[in-house]
Amino acid sequence: MADLPYNVLFLCTGNSARSIIAEAILNKVGAGKFHAYSAGSQPRGQVNPHAIQLLQSLGYDTSGYRSKSWDEFAKAGEPKFDFVFTVCDNAAAEACPVWPGQPMTAHWGIPDPAEAKGTPAEIALAFKDAYRLLNQRIGIFTALPLRSLNQLVLQNRLREIGRMEGSTAKATENT
């Protein structure tokens, strides 16, 4: 493991909602211990306005968030990641770039709030649920005694986090 802070990358296909929300949460709750980033295999080009609205309503500064390709982080000179988490099933099934430093990986798939249909209240609830699920996982992750766990135990704990309540089908499969 690298010296503090640990660099963490959250991946999703579009990098417009879940991965952005996870990046925001970890940068807030893990400040000083973690530095979070997010990216997508096929970025949508803009952050979902419902994600921005939710984060702003919770007091997050959203000015620096943008939808970007994971290719940006595969280039020389970019941060070396200690952890890479996929938060959608599509990204988990895709061939990811080779990340320098052999980061620990896990799939933390949750339902895509950007796919929510219905009234504005129902859509807002889908985003709140995604936030709640990611916040819960990230809270458990940040509480792990990372330096005292061996690689195998840590990898198992990361996978267990991905199988928590609200996980998508791929996240609950044995890996």
Residues classed as catalytic = 12, 88, 96
Task: Name the β-bridge partners of 34.
Answer: 6, 31
* 6-12 and 83-86 beta bridge pairing: parallel
Enumerate residues 6+ apart whose C-beta is below 8 A from 151.
104
Question: 8: closest CA among 38, 32, 29?
Answer: 38
Whole-angstrom distance, CA of residue 144 vs CA of residue 82: 14
Q: With contact defined as beta carbons under 8 Å apart, do 7 and 82 qualify? A: yes
DSSP labels, 51-102: HHHHHHHTT---TT----BGGGGGSTTSPPPSEEEE-SHHHHHS-PPPPTT-
CA atoms within 13 A on the CB side of 138: 31
Enclosing H/E stretch for 142: helix 120-143
